[in-house]
Amino acid sequence: MDAAFAPAIASNIPWVAVLGNHDQEGSLSREGVMKHIVGMKNTLVKLNPAEAHVIDGFGNYNLEVGGVKGTDFENKSVLNLYFLDSGDYSKVPSIPGYDWIKPSQQLWFERTSAKLQKAYINGPVHQKKPAPGLAYFHIPLPEYASFDSSNFTGQKLEPDGDGISSASVNSGFFTTLVAAGDVKAVFTGHDHLNDFCGKLMGIQLCYAGGFGYHAYGKAGWPRRARVVVASLEKTDKGTWGDVNSIKSWKRLDDQHLTGIDGEVLWSKSFGANPGK
């Protein structure tokens, strides 16, 4: 872990992490892994929310991205980031396969989202809509299987079944996200040969794409990292406002660090309007 996070630490840019499904396979438990990460330099990772006395997993937390100092949004979160532990493998004997996001985690997310939306809309600068949110966890939702090459940007190269290694049961978390209304995009890993984004019911479901060289990949398919950029609106007064758009692309680990598949995941002007 020290080697994996060394570049992030060296950058002196705050960084975070979520657990994957293999992290308990070394000498530390999942809790132990997350506790180690929490103690590392420059990280904003939290073990679990203090207000949630009972919650499944480790590394369920949120971050509020404040507006620019000296503007009307200085004391408001203009972008809300949600991080969840999607577990490893099912602990229910009659349910095979991977784990899922549990009711306790969903309840925490619902309450946190509602609190942030209320504070944003009813704050000193009244807003008609909540600030956008982004959610990050490892194992994809079953709804990732809703797409084919006609309605996503990127590639789906995983060979098994429908190419989506989700849990074999549907926890309902996608419905929870849609009902909350603030999350505009979800980002997962797990399937190393998938790197696509597809929009379903106003939410972009995105894969990060295979990144490191410590796990399986595909010959001739460069390792890649997804980049996500939230841009602020420039007001009529020449100051910075709230988030205007969320864009994304992938950066390949090739000779030129090529950027591919640039798209708008969400924009304030058009709701959730994908485009090049």
Q: 240-270: per-residue pLDDT in tens?
A: 999 999 999 999 999 999 999 999 999 998 7
pLDDT tens for residues 16-36?
999 999 999 999 999 999 999
Average pLDDT, the chain: 94
pLDDT at 174 over 60: yes
User: Average of pLDDT values for 56-75?
Assistant: 95
Instruction: Write down the pLDDT at residue 148.
Output: 87
pLDDT at 276 over 50: no
Secondary structure tally for the chain: helices H, strands E: 4, 9
Read off the pTM. 0.95
The number of beta carbons lying within 10 Å of the beta carbon of residue 254 is: 11
Long-range residue pairs from 117-123, CB within 8 A, at least 24 positions apart, any chain: 117/181, 117/182, 119/76, 119/77, 120/76, 120/77, 123/75, 123/76
26 neighbors 1 (Cβ within 8 angstroms) = no
102 neighbors 173 (Cβ within 8 angstroms) = no
Nearest CA among 270, 88, 263, 112 for reference residue 183: 112
Q: Indicate the pLDDT class of residue 272, thresholds 50, 70 and 90.
A: very low
Instruction: Write down the pLDDT at residue 275.
Output: 41
Q: How far apart are CA 81 and CA 264, in angstroms?
A: 18
Q: How far apart are CA 202 and CA 273, in angstroms?
A: 9
pLDDT at 50 over 60: yes
The number of beta carbons lying within 10 Å of the beta carbon of residue 236 is: 6
127 neighbors 74 (Cβ within 8 angstroms) = no
Radius of gyration of the chain measured on its C-alpha atoms: 19
pLDDT at 91 over 90: yes
Q: Indicate the pLDDT class of residue 273, thresholds 50, 70 and 90.
A: very low
CATH 3.30.70.260 is held by the domain 2-221: no
